[in-house]
Amino acid sequence: MSVELQEVREHMGRHAPFDTLSDELLDEVASNIEVAYFKAGTDIHHYGQTISELCYIRQGAVDVYRRNGELYSRRGEGEIFGQFSLLRDNLVRFPSQAIEDTLLYYIPAEVFRRLCEEDDNFADFVELERPRLEATVDKYRRNNDMMITRVRKLVTRRPVMIEASASVQQAAQRMREENVTSALIYEASTSVDESQARYTFTDSQGRAWTLIGILTDVDFRNRVLAAGLAGNLPVIDIVSRPPRTIQSDESIHEAMLCMLRNNIHHLPVLHRRYPVGVLHLSDIVRYETNSSLYLVNNIFSQPSAKGLAQLSTDVRAAFVRMVSDGADSRMIGSALSTIGRSFTRRLLELAEEELGPPPVPYCFMALGSMARNEQVIVSDQDNALVLDDRFDAERHDDYFAALAQRVSDGLAACGYAYCKGNIMATNPRWRQPLSVWKRYFSEWIARPDPQALLDSSIFFDLDAVHGEETFVEQLQDLVAEQASQSPRFLAAMARNALNRKPPLGFFRGFVMENTGEHKNSINLKRRGTAPMVDLIRVHALACRSRAQNSFARLDDIAQTQLLPEGSGERIRYALEFISMVRIRHQALDIEEERDPDNNVEPENVSSEERHNLKDAFLVLSNAQKFLGFRYPMPRSR
C-alpha cells in the first residue's frame, strides 16, 4: 500500500467504527477513498440529492440538518455521515454543511456495503437508532445472564502452599508470616493413581504435584495441641484429607451449600485442577451482607430511626453491587424502591409505636420514582397521606402531622432529601381524606391548566406504601377512568412532557445542544430519563393503564394502537440505555468516593456510549414530536 494511503489508513484506524475492522477490510477502505476539500460555510449534501458514498471527516466539522433546517447532528474529525441515505435509497434526507474548513474522505457505496456485510460491529454501528441500541442493551442483558456471580469473584489472594514434608511448626510459621488462617498442603506427584488424578496439577515449571489437603488454624488446636503432639511432626500427619474443593466458575451459592453440607469454613478453589485460592465462610457472609435482600431484612429489624440512618451506606454498597453484577435498570429500580419503601414502612411502624395507633385508618402514599419502582441512589422523598373520610382535622391532624414529620425526618436521615417542591405528607395540603384527594384528581383532570399541572404531574405516579392500600387503589382507578376521557388533560400533560428536550449528542469534549450551543456536562435525569418517563405517562393515561412502572406502562401501551409500529420498542430500549448510563455513572461516583449525582461529563462517556446515547436522544426527540402531534390541545369552547 502506498505511503499516502497509509496515512489515510492510519487515521481511519483510530476512529470508530473503523478501529475494529480487520486489517484486510481497513486496507480495502483506505485504497478506495476519494478526497475533497470544503471551505467553511459550503454545503456538502443538498436535500434530495443522490449520493453514492459514505463521508468520513478527516479534518474539520460538519453540521447535519433536518429538512426543516433544524440541527440534527454536529460531526467532527473521525466521524461519518451519509450512512442513512446509503442504507435506504441513496437520497439525501439530512443536508449537510461544513462549519469549519473540512477535508472529507469519500468511501464508495460498494465498499460501505461490503463492510456492513462482513463486519457485524460496523453494521451495528451504522444502523439507525433502534438496531444499534437494541444490540447494545441485549448484549448487556446476555452478559447479565451469565453473571450469576461466580466463586472466583470472591478470591482475593493466591493460596499459601506448603509442601507435605514441612514440619507442623514450619507450617505454622509460614501461616503467621502470610497472615492466613489456612494453607494448602501438596507433594510431588509420583504414582499415576486414578483416585488422586483429580487433585493433580502442574506448576509453571512443568512439574506435577498432588493437592493432599488443607490445614487450618483449628487443626493446630484440635490435632496438635489437644492431642499432645510436638511441632516437629510432619505436616502431612495432621492434614484433613481428601480436600473438599470447588471450581472457580461455580456460583457463590454453590460454594455456600458445599460448606454447609460438609460443615467446613474453608474451601479450596480450583481452576480446572490448579489451586487459585481458598474461600472462607466469612467471605460469603460479607458478600451476602451487601445484597438488597439482606438489607431489607435488616431494615425491619432496626429498633430506631437512628439505626435506620446507619444503614444508608449499606444501601449504596448494595446499589454498587447490583450494578457490578450486571442487573438491568428495572431490577435496580425495583430493588432500590423496595428498600425505600421498607425504610418508610419501618419508620411508620416506629412512629406508631411511639404515638399510639392511628385515630382513623390511613394510607401512606408514594409518588414519583418510588411509586414507579424506578428509584436510583439519588432520590428525593415525594409522599402524601390519604386519610379515612372520618378524619376530623381538629381532633386527628396533630397525630398525622407528627407521624408525617417523623417519617419525613427519618427518610432525610437515611439519605432521601426533603422534596424541594414540598410534596410531602408534612404539607397539610397533601395530608387529606380520600374524598378530598378524589376532588384534587378530578379537578386536575377536568380543568387542566398546564402551569398548575406542571407541579402536580408527579401525583400521576402513585402507589400505596403502608396502611389502607384500597385508598390509593381507588385513586388509581379514578385516574385511569377519567384521564383517558379528557383530551384537554392529555394535551396539557403532553405539552408539559415536551418542556425538557434531550441534547443532540456529543461533539468533541462537549454536549451539543439543538441550538448549536456547547455545554460541559449533561443532567441525564432532566434531559433523558425524566422526559422519557413523562411521555410514557401520557400514553399510559390515554390508554387507561393502571401500571405505574414505565416499562409496565409500555407493555400496556403496546396492547393499543397509540404508538406507531416499533416505536414502543425503541422507547423501551432508549429508556433502558439512558437509565443504565445514569446508574453506572452514579455507581462510579460512589466507588470513587464522590457524591453521586445525575450529571455526566462527556470525558467520562466512552465512545460506544456516546453513539448509543445519541441514538437514544434521537428516539426521545422523535417520541416527543409524536406526542405533541398525537395529543393536540382541543379548541377552547
Region 261-300 residues binding another protein, contact defined as CB under 8 A: none
Q: Is 515 helix (H, G, I), strand (E, B) or coil?
A: coil
Q: Would you mind telling me the total number of residues written for the chain in this entry?
A: 637
- Scanning 38-46, 399-407, 444-452, 594-602 for contacts with another protein by CB under 8 A, the matching segment is 38-46
b (16+ CB within 10 A) / e for 166-181 = bebebbbebbeeeebe
Nearer to another protein, 4 or 120 (CB): 4
Q: Which grid coordinates are listed for 137?
A: 442493551
Q: Of residues 14, 19, 22, 42, which one binds another protein by CB under 8 A?
A: 42
Q: How far is CA 112 from CA 4, 24, 47, 123, 370, in A?
A: 21, 14, 21, 9, 47
Shortest reach from residue 599's CB to another protein, in Å: 33
Q: Of residues 27, 51, 59, 436, which one binds another protein by CB under 8 A?
A: 59
Q: Of residues 12, 26, 33, 590, which one binds another protein by CB under 8 A?
A: 33
Q: Of residues 38, 186, 220, 430, which one binds another protein by CB under 8 A?
A: 38
Nearer to another protein, 60 or 528 (CB): 60
Q: Which grid coordinates are listed for 426?
A: 408534612
Shortest reach from residue 57's CB to another protein, in Å: 11
Q: Of residues 39, 46, 88, 241, which one binds another protein by CB under 8 A?
A: 39
Nearer to another protein, 33 or 311 (CB): 33
Write out the E strands in 333-382: 362-367
CA angle 123, 13, 519 (to 5 degrees): 80
Binding pattern to another protein, positions 598-627, x when CB under 8 A?
------------------------------
Shortest reach from residue 35's CB to another protein, in Å: 4
b (16+ CB within 10 A) / e for 321-336 = bbbebbbbbbebbbbb
d(CA 343, CA 355): 18
Q: Applying CB under 8 A, does 559 fall inside the site for another protein?
A: no
**Phi, psi dihedral angles at 37 (to 5 degrees):** -105, 135
What does the DSSP 8-state code read for residue 234? Answer: B
Nearer to another protein, 102 or 182 (CB): 102
Q: Applying CB under 8 A, does 372 fall inside the site for another protein?
A: no
Nearer to another protein, 57 or 618 (CB): 57
**Phi, psi dihedral angles at 116 (to 5 degrees):** -65, -40
CA angle 332, 338, 342 (to 5 degrees): 145
Nearer to another protein, 101 or 163 (CB): 101
In 3D space, the residue among 382, 628, 617 whose CA is nearest the CA of residue 497 turns out to be 628
Nearer to another protein, 105 or 551 (CB): 105
Q: Is 499 helix (H, G, I), strand (E, B) or coil?
A: coil
Residues 6+ apart with CB under 8 A from 275: 159, 161, 184, 186, 201, 211, 245, 268, 269
Shortest reach from residue 80's CB to another protein, in Å: 17
Shortest reach from residue 534's CB to another protein, in Å: 42
**Phi, psi dihedral angles at 377 (to 5 degrees):** -75, -25
- Scanning 6-14, 263-271, 372-380, 425-433 for contacts with another protein by CB under 8 A, the matching segment is 6-14
Nearer to another protein, 59 or 521 (CB): 59
Work out the number of other CB atoms within 10 angstroms of the CB of residue 519: 14
Nearer to another protein, 37 or 300 (CB): 37
Q: Applying CB under 8 A, does 4 fall inside the site for another protein?
A: yes
d(CA 499, CA 397): 37
In contact, 91 and 109? CB cutoff 8 Å:
no
d(CA 84, CA 107): 14
Q: Applying CB under 8 A, does 34 fall inside the site for another protein?
A: yes
First to last CA, the chain: 74
In 3D space, the residue among 532, 531, 553 whose CA is nearest the CA of residue 463 turns out to be 553
Q: How many residues bind another protein (CB under 8 A)?
A: 26
Q: Applying CB under 8 A, does 43 fall inside the site for another protein?
A: no
CA angle 566, 567, 570 (to 5 degrees): 90
Nearer to another protein, 83 or 102 (CB): 102
Q: Applying CB under 8 A, does 597 fall inside the site for another protein?
A: no
What does the DSSP 8-state code read for residue 235? Answer: G
Shortest reach from residue 99's CB to another protein, in Å: 11
Q: Is 179 helix (H, G, I), strand (E, B) or coil?
A: coil
Q: Applying CB under 8 A, does 2 fall inside the site for another protein?
A: yes
Nearer to another protein, 103 or 454 (CB): 103
- Scanning 96-104, 263-271, 275-283, 548-556 for contacts with another protein by CB under 8 A, the matching segment is 96-104
Q: Of residues 37, 251, 293, 303, which one binds another protein by CB under 8 A?
A: 37
Shortest reach from residue 34's CB to another protein, in Å: 5
Nearer to another protein, 53 or 534 (CB): 53
Which residues on neighbouring strands pair with residue 269, listed in sequence order?
246, 277
Sign of torsion over alpha carbons 482, 485, 488, 489: positive
Region 97-126 residues binding another protein, contact defined as CB under 8 A: 100-103, 106
- Scanning 33-41, 197-205, 395-403, 599-607 for contacts with another protein by CB under 8 A, the matching segment is 33-41
Nearer to another protein, 31 or 304 (CB): 31
d(CA 409, CA 572): 36
Binding site residues, another protein, CB under 8 A: 2-8, 31-40, 42, 58-60, 100-103, 106
